[in-house]
Amino acid sequence: MNALSDAIAALARAGALREVDRAFARLLRRMGASADVQLAGALAMRAVALGHSGFALNDARALLDELGVGADADVALPDAGAWADALRASPLVGADPDASAPLVFQHGLVALRRYARYEKGLADALRARSGDAGSGIVSTGDPAENAALARLFALRPGTLDRQALAAWLVLRQRLALVTGGPGTGKTTTVARMLALLAARSDGLRIALAAPTGRAAARLAEAVADALARDVAEGRLGADIAARVPRQAQTLHRLLGWQRSGAFRHDASLPLPFDVVVVDEASMVDLPLMAKLVDAVAPAARLVLLGDPDQLPAVEAGDVLGALCAAAGDGESLPPALARAASEALQATVPETGFEPGQDHAAPLAGHRVHLVRGYRQANAAGIAALARSVQHGDADEVLERLRAGGDGVHWLDTGASGFGANVLERRLETGVLPQYRALAQAEDPQAALRLATGVRVLTALRHGPGGAHAWNAWFAQRLGGGDPWFRGRLVMVAANSYRHGLFNGDTGVCWPDADGSPVVWFEQDGRLRPWSPGQLPQHDTAFATTVHKAQGSEFDAVWLLLPRADSRVLSRELLYTGLTRARSALHIAGSADAIEAALARHAGRVSGLGWRLE
């Protein structure tokens, strides 16, 4: 056995490689691959499970570090130069995704062919859709439409309204990224943009979608609320508002998921919509985004909403992050676009202008607007300020804000002297258990589901002493005793089930039916539907959920519980995502060391999408 085969065996002994990774290496060996190609294949497969598109050959040690294999471990990686030469010489390693080889080695990135093809296809489709809007001369548009836009956004002389700018850009482009933190008005902006588009045509076909059922429901609710508010305040006619849909669906349902695992809609059978709006785009992984963009008709508009500072998708890729990097910061426009937007709105509202940026060759320049003004947490300024400090990664400032507390922020320092294991339990018994007990006292299951948005416990880990499973068992014992299906139990679906119409992240509540039998009620399409426990797809108790599972949701109060020991899942993005789920009150239980470790670590993803977009 040579040294490279020894490396695979050593990684397996260290628990860094799964059986499927080793099986792929064995398959490559049967196909005639040398040991170095086998090792590259095993690591490429393992990288995908960690959310990467592949791994950088020159920095393979970083992948091992992420897997918990330290430099002192008995794992000898080959010299990077010799390894690269061996990969280039192998017929099982292609130089581009169009080759038939199972592995692709390009720009120093080793990837499975499937994921390299996803990246290439997505990059090609986005470049075709974006055109040259960043540098070309853009029409200022119809004066009446510009006046309607100014009225909808209540523009005043001398103001720079980024929401209005985002809507103006969407009206003129087939690709738009509208980004911003929680409560910055992304869905309000899109609701008004859709109303302006609907005013052009009575038959405009609009689709609203999101990665999860809960996120889709929130998108629909936010659009409906924004339109109702604009109609009530006289900024929008009820007839035009009625043309905008109030329903949203998951991306899997939109694309037409089939039992084979394929989607009904693709480039050969595009989606029958003129505008496709996708919320929570940070949660969309590489394969799903590639299939979505492929299925949007060439002439249709694609609008992606999201917060690039949130956790990336659980599966492979950080697509929104790559797109934002390719579009620039979104806070200034290429000069041609800035002039056109300013001229359009100044004709209606004097002195309205937009700051031009520099002319540059960024592939998606001019296709992103980043919203910065926060609305949601206006009554919890401390949470918004803490979120900004976390975004900047300033540990001293974050800890100072936590120590000061107030304005909705509460810190339980689990690293303080005298902190006992039962202190956190006592806090949860007084601060959370009464609200969860109230679920069982609600008038009906629909009222219980409304109450359930009042508080949620979020964890960094799923398993282990401080994980969601352990805390759910703790809550269930106190709320239901030994009864597994007690009244008021929160249940979250853990896997998509199209047969049931239930999707990953959907939350229901256990409540007896008319005969007294326990059933779990979910709100679907605006009405409650009961399912017996035996009918449910894969599911978990949901009094405590991971931060990842909470994406796309928000609660009045959030209790964010960080692990006592450092963990690779702790990151700046996890901390930011968890705390921004809170509307008005945030309770963080964690030590200063854990918080500093999280701020120092990025949930970065290795990807080739950025340079493919170039």
Total residue length of the chain: 614
At residue 313, what is the residue type? Answer: A
Cα torsion through 136, 137, 143, 148, rounded to 10 = 30
182 is in an annotated binding site: yes
What's the farthest any 2 CA atoms get from each other in the chain? 78
34: alpha, beta or left? (left if phi > 0; alpha if psi -120 to 50): beta
186 is in an annotated binding site: yes
181 is in an annotated binding site: yes
What is the rounded distance in angstroms from the CA atom of residue 214 to the CA atom of residue 424?
29
In this structure, what token pair is assigned to residue 375? 């609305």
What is the rounded distance in angstroms from the CA atom of residue 144 to the CA atom of residue 379?
37
430 is in an annotated binding site: no
374 is in an annotated binding site: no
DSSP 33-52: --HHHHHHHHHHHHHHHTT-
Residue from 549, 195, 586 nearest 187 by CA: 195
Residue appearing with tokens 């599972």:
549
Strand locations in 353-506 (E): 368-371, 409-412, 455-459, 490-493
With beta carbons less than 8 A apart as the criterion, state whether 455 and 430 touch: no
Q: Is 360 exposed, middle or buried (0-12, 13-18, 19+ CB in 10 A)?
A: exposed
Exposure string for 335-349, b = 16+ CB within 10 A, e = fewer: ebbbbbbbebbbebb
In this structure, what token pair is assigned to residue 566? 């450092």
For β-strands 507-512 and 518-524, DSSP reports them as antiparallel
What is the rounded distance in angstroms from the CA atom of residue 270 to the CA atom of residue 276?
12
In this structure, what token pair is assigned to residue 479? 């709320």
Distance of CA 127 to the CA centre of its chain: 22
291 is in an annotated binding site: no
203 is in an annotated binding site: no
Q: What angle do CA 213, 217, 221 make, to 5 degrees?
A: 170
What is the rounded distance in angstroms from the CA atom of residue 485 to the CA atom of residue 477?
11
What is the rounded distance in angstroms from the CA atom of residue 149 to the CA atom of residue 152?
5
Q: Phi first, then psi: give them for residue 206, nearest 5 degrees.
A: -120, 135
In this structure, what token pair is assigned to residue 118? 């996803």
In this structure, what token pair is assigned to residue 89? 């010489």
DSSP 295-316: HS-TTSEEEEEE-TTS---SSS
487: alpha, beta or left? (left if phi > 0; alpha if psi -120 to 50): beta
With beta carbons less than 8 A apart as the criterion, state whether 567 and 444 touch: no
Residue from 127, 120, 162, 170 nearest 145 by CA: 170
312 is in an annotated binding site: no
What is the rounded distance in angstroms from the CA atom of residue 236 to the CA atom of residue 565?
53
Residue from 306, 118, 309, 151 nearest 231 by CA: 151
Residues comprising the binding site?
180-187
Q: Which residues are annotated as a binding site for ATP?
A: 180-187
